[in-house]
Structure formats: C-alpha cells, structure tokens
C-alpha cells in the first residue's frame, strides 16, 4: 500500500522521520519519499535524519502567542492551522496523491499541535482528496497529567468520525516509568517505542514487491487493508517475529517444541501449528492499543518470510483461529513473501475495536481535569475539537 505520510507536531514529525528511516533501511516501500511534517514554532526543526528540509513546514512563526510551540494549547493550534493552512497546502500539492492509495496522518494526541492541528488537517484532507485518510495517533502517558489527557480525549472525539480509521499507540504500555519521567525529545525509551511502532506500520502497510517470483497467491494488496479498515473507528496492531535457524528452518524449530516433533510423520500438522503459534503470539503480545480482542469488527493477519516457509494450509488455519478469537467472520489472511528473509513474522490488525479500557480511563481523566467546566457534555466526556471553522 502506498501512503503519503504527514506528521503533525513534534511527536508526529519525529515518528514520521522514524517510519521513513525503517522504510529506507529495508526493501519494503511505503511512502516512496512522499511525506510532509508540520510544526508550530518560531524556529525551524532541522534535526530530522530522513525528512528533507523542503518537506518540513513551520507555521505560526509570526503569531504573537507562539514561541517554541503552543504550550499544549489545543485551541491555539486549531486557530493557527486554519489561518496558515495555505502554507501546508502548497507542500501537499507536491505530493502526487493520484498515484497513492491514501494518507496516513501521524500525531501525538497529548500535545496541543498534534491534537489540534491534526484534527484540522484530517478535515481538510478529506475535503481535498477521494482517498482514505488514516490517523496514527500516540496517546499520552498517565504521568503526563490532565491537560494532555483532555487534549487526547477531545481530539479522538473529532478524529474518529472524521478519519477513515484511527490506529492508536499507547505509550504507557511501551515506555518504562523511568523513561517516562524524562523529555521525549531526548529519550531512549521513546525512541525505542517509535522504532517498534514504525516497524509495525511498515510491516503492515508496505506490500510493494518488485520480484514476480516471490509474489504468492495469498499475497495481500491495498484493497485488503482498505476493506479491513473501512468500518472506521479505532484500530490496534499486534506483532510477533521469530528468527529462522540454520538447521532446518522455522518448521524444525517449532516441531522440536511439540510432542513427537522429531518424527517425520508430524510434518503435516506442524505447518498449521507453527502458523497458529506465531499468530497467537502476535495477538497476545503487546498490542499497540490494549483492547478486548472480541470487540473487533474486522481483523487481518499478514505472515511474512521466505516463500518456502509459508503455506496455504497455514493461512487458512490462522484465519479460522483468529475468527474464533475475535468472534467475527470478517477475517482476512495473506502473505508477504520475502525471498532470503532470516525471520518469519505475523502482524495482526484489529479494526473498529469498541472495548478499550485505556480510552475509557483517558476520558475519565479528561473530565476530572476539566471538572464541571464548559468542556463536559451530557455524557461526561470531553467536547470534540472544533476543527472546522463554523464561518466556512
């Protein structure tokens, strides 16, 4: 799938830089260099490794209330992004959207810029293009306090109905307590979390393969991903990977774990078991967003590795198992053949999950922060971001 990457705010821009780095380091292609980062500041951020200067847009630099950012002020970010949107639009015009399958907007939802300007940008992109607009949003940690929780809660109420799907990443599950207490700009824990998330995004979405001999009958394409994400709502990603050994490959490794696994007559059942084991690990490991798996409306699993290690029977077995776990028949399964790969991996996408304790706690924290103030509605949840100017 070919996606334009658009990073909003400091966190979103750093993550786009990391995703592009993972893409260029391997043979998978995702954005093909079609990317853009946007931040609100009086100074230009030039610390990116993989985002060219001409692909970074600084807005709000002449606004009297802006210094190094908006200091968590979501409404100020909304105002500036509306006013300065022509600056963003000019750079967007350089991206050949007609050649792409969609757009992935990347933002930290606890910050003022990511949560405020991100909501504005998604609304504008939906008006401008007839391609899917997805969001990759990073939730703030509990330690960050009430204001980031309020920003995230408000932005989710705007982004979920506006975007074609919102993929979420919960920092609390990925950044240790000691790392969480230090600034994200210079923090190994956050950098590791960004790399983990970036690898999952590239593995899930980057399906391009120029070697005809390695394209399998079960190979995923962009339509499978679009179909899985089409219900909208919130999505979560699971991932598992294992190294291939030098003495018989992945099958022999997994066979050794089974009773009687060394017997030749165990070859047939081993194939199904090895796929199920990897998919089970992906689903039961750290999801990008912890959720009740059975609340997903649709699911997708992609298995990646050398073609000889992947089989049709294994795919069907994995699909059936995932149907049972998610309690849905809307499950797609396919492969991503990687000739010469030294690992076999499984990535699972859960679409439109509805039972997410982390979002519930985020909403409660937001309401507590706001108290009985003007941003609480009848349901006790934070009001959405007013991304669209009512005078438009």
Cα–Cα distances (Å) from 78 to 87, 117, 362, 387, in that order, read: 15, 5, 21, 6
Q: What is the tens place of the pLDDT at every residue in 294-309?
A: 999 999 999 988 887 7
pLDDT: which is higher, 16 or 28:
16
Q: What is the pLDDT of residue 35?
A: 98
Q: What is the tens place of the pLDDT at every residue in 96-137?
A: 999 999 999 999 999 999 999 999 999 999 999 999 999 999
- Reported as a pLDDT band with limits 50, 70 and 90, residue 271 is low
Q: What is the tens place of the pLDDT at every residue in 92-106?
A: 999 999 999 999 999
pLDDT: which is higher, 266 or 32:
32
- Does 261 score more than 60 pLDDT? no
Q: What is the tens place of the pLDDT at every residue in 175-212?
A: 865 455 555 555 678 899 999 999 999 999 996 555 55
pLDDT: which is higher, 392 or 84:
84
Q: Which domains does the chain have, with CATH numbers?
A: 3-208+357-370 (3.40.50.1440), 233-351 (3.30.1330.20)
pLDDT average, residue stretch 324-346: 88
Measure the CA–CA gap between 328 and 228, rounded to whole angstroms.
Answer: 12
Measure the CA–CA gap between 231 and 248, rounded to whole angstroms.
Answer: 42
Contact in structure between 207 and 304 (CB atoms under 8 Å): no
Q: What is the pLDDT of residue 389?
A: 63
Binding residues for GTP: 112-114, 144, 171, 194
- Does 49 score more than 80 pLDDT? yes
Measure the CA–CA gap between 32 and 108, rounded to whole angstroms.
Answer: 23
Binding residues: 112-114, 144, 171, 194
Q: What is the pLDDT of residue 306?
A: 84
Q: Beta strand pairing status for 298-305 and 234-243?
A: unpaired
- Reported as a pLDDT band with limits 50, 70 and 90, residue 256 is low
């Amino acid at each position: 799938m070919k996606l334009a990457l658009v990073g909003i705010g400091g966190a979103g821009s750093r993550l786009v830089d990391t995703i592009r780095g993972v893409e260029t380091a391997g043979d998978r292609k995702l954005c093909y260099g079609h990317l853009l980062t946007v931040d609100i500041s009086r100074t230009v951020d030039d610390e990116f490794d993989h985002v060219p200067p001409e692909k970074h847009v600084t807005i709000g630099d002449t606004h009297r209330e802006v210094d190094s950012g908006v200091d968590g002020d979501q409404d100020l970010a909304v105002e500036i992004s509306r006013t300065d949107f022509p600056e963003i639009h000019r750079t967007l015009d350089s991206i050949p959207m007609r050649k792409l399958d969609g757009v992935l907007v990347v933002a930290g939802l606890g910050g003022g810029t990511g949560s405020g300007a991100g909501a504005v940008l998604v609304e504008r992109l939906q008006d401008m293009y007839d391609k899917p607009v997805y969001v990759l949003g990073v939730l703030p940690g509990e330690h960050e306090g009430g204001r980031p929780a309020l920003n995230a809660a408000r932005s989710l109420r705007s982004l979920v109905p506006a975007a074609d799907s919102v993929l979420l990443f919960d920092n609390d599950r990925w950044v240790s307590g000691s790392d969480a207490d230090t600034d994200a700009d210079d923090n190994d824990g956050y950098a590791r979390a960004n790399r983990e998330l970036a690898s999952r995004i590239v593995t899930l979405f980057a399906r391009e393969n120029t070697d005809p001999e390695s394209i399998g009958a079960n190979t995923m394409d962009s339509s499978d991903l679009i179909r899985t994400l089409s219900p909208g709502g919130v999505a979560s990603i699971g991932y598992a990977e294992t190294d291939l050994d030098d003495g018989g490959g992945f099958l022999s490794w997994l066979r050794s774990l089974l009773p009687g696994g060394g017997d030749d007559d165990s070859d047939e059942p081993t194939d199904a078991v090895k796929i199920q084991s990897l998919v089970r690990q992906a689903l039961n490991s750290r999801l990008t967003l912890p959720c009740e798996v059975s609340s997903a409306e649709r699911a997708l699993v992609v298995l990646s590795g050398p073609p000889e290690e992947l089989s049709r029977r294994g795919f069907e077995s994995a699909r059936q198992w995932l149907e049972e776990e998610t309690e849905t028949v809307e499950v797609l399964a396919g492969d991503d053949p990687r000739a010469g790969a030294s690992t076999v991996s499984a990535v699972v996408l859960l679409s439109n999950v509805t039972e997410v304790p982390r979002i519930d706690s985020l909403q409660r924290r937001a309401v507590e922060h706001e108290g009985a103030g003007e941003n609480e509605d009848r349901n006790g949840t934070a009001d959405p971001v007013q991304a669209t100017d009512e005078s438009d």
